């Protein structure tokens, strides 16, 4: 899957959870990605996030430590 598609999908998840407030959103994003994304997608997202200009929503960035790879 392309990097741009991973960013798009992660940011869509962040958009869904954002209305719940930061703490709940971060937990929800991390939980969703950990449960529903396959290990390769999670690993690719974590590698992509090391690039400071990846385009990830700030809530996704905060959820990264919650994502298993």
- Nearest-angstrom CA–CA distance, 22 and 69: 23
Reading phi first (left if > 0) and then psi (alpha if -120 to 50, else beta), residue 57 is in beta
Is the pTM above the cut of 0.75? yes
Work out the mean pLDDT of the chain and round it to a whole number: 94
Start-end of H helices in the chain: 3-17, 22-36, 39-49, 58-63
> What is the average pLDDT across 24-39?
97
Give 22's DSSP letter: H
Comparison of pLDDT for 13 and 1, the residue scoring more: 13
User: What pLDDT does 7 receive?
Assistant: 96
What are the extents of the domains in the chain? 3-66
Residue 68 has pLDDT above 90, yes or no: no
């Amino acid at each position: 899957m392309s990097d741009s598609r991973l960013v798009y999908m992660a940011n869509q998840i962040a958009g869904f959870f954002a209305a719940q407030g930061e703490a709940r959103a971060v937990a929800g994003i991390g939980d969703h990605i950990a449960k529903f994304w396959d290990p390769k997608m999670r690993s690719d997202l974590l590698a992509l996030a090391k690039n400071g200009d990846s385009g990830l929503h700030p809530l996704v960035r905060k959820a990264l430590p919650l994502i298993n790879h």
